[in-house]
């Protein structure tokens, strides 16, 4: 602060109403500065809130809240059913939950919120303001990826936990409660796979354009139509080729699920369930079946996730400075 400003600071002026106005001049900031990791954390938290419309207008909150409530509904129905009829079996499984409902809600959530997290900064050319600050080029997409993954995780896992609470509250003894807990854990892990794959894929697709409406289309349309196509091909494979052997679907039917991320996730679940002998009826899963190709599903899942994350990071290496 210059001597002049200090002099001004030392002489409070009298305001009209008798109050005192202090001209405090320019103040330096000498206190703690947060490091790179804490800045990424702040951006992640900001984006996570934004994914649910928090810190944005009222309209932005409607869809996330609606989708979340919709996904919680089966868990609530399950809890009520168990409470009224203690001898009934749980209606909803931890692993698959209600696949069609989860697919639709998560698809809409990702198609709406991935563009919300990215397109405004692209459209308004705000990125240079970020990149001119103490962060590295990779930090921005990584923060957005963590934020959207956590957001998807939130809307997928909280219904799982509600389901668990509903089930546990009706069982007797620690043994049964422990059994429920053991069944919940794979469900939570599976939900995490959903979160990471769909968030990375959604953000990569959304980062292609700064126009929000186009970004929503660019995200939603491929996710939706690949899902329809996977089902159509699986059906066609069944009708055209019939089973490859006793209890074995044709190769086309088994591999059709690789096309869509949702059926891919379903295939991964079936592959992992097989050794455990847990059988979820085929119609409850998105993919009709995976046949012998379970490991292929696992490999494609891993490759697609890595490719989407890598693609997103590469995309943000290129833009923002030109």
Partner 1 sequence: MIAQPATTRDQAGQPESGAVIEARGLTKRYGLTVTALADLTVTIWPGITGLIGANGAGKSTLIKILLGLLEPTSGRAFVLGHDCVRDGFAIRSLTGYMPEHDCLPPDVTATELVTHLGRMSGLPPTAAKERAADSLRHVGLYEERYRQIGTYSTGMKQRVKLAQALVGDPRLLLLDEPTNGLDPAGRTAMLDLIAKIGSEFGISILVASHLLGEIEQICDHLVAIDAGCLLRADSVSSVTRATAALLVEVDDGIELLQAELARRGLGPVRFQRGLLVQLAGDATYDAVRDSVADLGLPLCRMEQRRHQVEELFRDAPAAPADPAVSVAPAMPGSQPTGAAGVR
Per rule CB under 8 A, is residue 162 in the interface with partner 1?
A: no
Residue nearer to partner 1 on the CB measure, 34 or 221: 34
Q: Can you tell me which residue has the tokens 């290129």? A: 318
- Cα gap 302→279, rounded to integer Å: 24
Per rule CB under 8 A, is residue 128 in the interface with partner 1?
A: yes
Residue nearer to partner 1 on the CB measure, 39 or 192: 39
String of b and e for 284-300 (b: at least 16 CB within 10 Å)? ebbbbbbbebbebbbeb
Q: How far is the CB of 36 from partner 1 (least distance, A)?
A: 7
Show the site string, 48-67: x = touches partner 1 by CB under 8 A, - = not: -------x-x----------
Binding residue for partner 1, selected from 22, 125, 292, 317, defined by CB under 8 A: 125
Q: Can you tell me which residue has the tokens 């409406």? A: 213
- Cα gap 203→199, rounded to integer Å: 6
- SS3 readout for 211-273: CHHHHHHHHHHHHHHHHHHHHHHHHHHHHHHCCCECCECCHHHHHHHHHCHHHHHHHHHHHHH
Stretch that binds partner 1, among 79-87, 117-125, 264-272, 307-315 (CB under 8 A): 117-125
Q: How far is the CB of 109 from partner 1 (least distance, A)?
A: 21
Per rule CB under 8 A, is residue 112 in the interface with partner 1?
A: no
Binding residue for partner 1, selected from 27, 276, 279, 318, defined by CB under 8 A: 27
Is residue 182 a contact partner of residue 164, using CB atoms and an 8 Å limit? no
- Cα gap 266→281, rounded to integer Å: 12
Per rule CB under 8 A, is residue 12 in the interface with partner 1?
A: no
Binding residue for partner 1, selected from 62, 65, 129, 307, defined by CB under 8 A: 129
Stretch that binds partner 1, among 124-132, 230-238, 269-277, 290-298 (CB under 8 A): 124-132
Stretch that binds partner 1, among 89-97, 122-130, 192-200, 247-255 (CB under 8 A): 122-130
Per rule CB under 8 A, is residue 130 in the interface with partner 1?
A: yes
Residue-by-residue DSSP string for 31-78: S----HHHHHHHHHHHHHHHHTTTTS-SHHHHHHHHHHHHHHHHHHHH
| Phi, psi (degrees; rounded to nearest 5) at 248 | -115, 120
Per rule CB under 8 A, is residue 124 in the interface with partner 1?
A: yes
Residues, the chain:
322
Q: How far is the CB of 117 from partner 1 (least distance, A)?
A: 13
Binding residue for partner 1, selected from 91, 101, 120, 161, defined by CB under 8 A: 120
Show the site string, 89-108: x = touches partner 1 by CB under 8 A, - = not: --------------------
């Amino acid at each position: 602060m210059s001597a002049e400003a200090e002099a001004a600071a030392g002489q409070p002026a009298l305001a009209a109403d008798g109050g005192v106005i202090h001209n405090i001049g320019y103040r330096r900031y000498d206190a703690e500065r947060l490091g790179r990791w804490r800045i990424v954390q702040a951006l992640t938290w900001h984006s996570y809130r934004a994914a649910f419309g928090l810190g944005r207008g009222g309209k932005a909150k409607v869809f996330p809240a609606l989708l979340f409530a919709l996904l919680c509904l089966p868990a609530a129905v399950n809890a009520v059913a168990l409470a009224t009829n203690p001898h009934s079996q749980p209606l909803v499984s931890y692993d698959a939950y209600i696949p069609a409902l989860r697919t639709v809600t998560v698809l809409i959530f990702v198609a709406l919120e991935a563009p919300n997290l990215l397109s405004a900064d692209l459209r308004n050319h705000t990125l240079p303001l970020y990149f001119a600050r103490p962060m590295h080029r990779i930090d921005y997409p990584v923060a957005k990826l963590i934020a959207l993954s956590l957001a998807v995780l939130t809307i997928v896992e909280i219904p799982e936990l509600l389901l668990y609470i509903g089930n546990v509250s009706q069982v007797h003894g620690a043994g049964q409660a422990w059994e429920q807990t053991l069944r919940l854990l794979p469900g939570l892990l599976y939900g995490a796979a959903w979160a990471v794959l769909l968030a990375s894929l959604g953000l990569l697709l959304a980062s292609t354009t700064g126009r929000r409406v186009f970004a929503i289309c660019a995200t939603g349309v491929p996710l939706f139509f690949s899902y329809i196509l996977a089902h159509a091909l699986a059906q066609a494979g069944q009708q055209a080729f019939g089973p490859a052997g006793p209890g074995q679907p044709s190769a086309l039917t088994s591999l059709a699920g690789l096309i869509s991320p949702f059926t891919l996730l379903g295939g991964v679940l079936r592959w992992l369930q097989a050794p455990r002998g847990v059988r979820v009826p085929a119609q409850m899963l998105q993919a009709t079946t995976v046949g012998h190709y379970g490991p292929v599903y696992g490999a494609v899942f891993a490759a697609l996730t890595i490719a989407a994350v890598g693609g997103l990071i590469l995309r943000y290496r290129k833009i923002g400075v030109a």
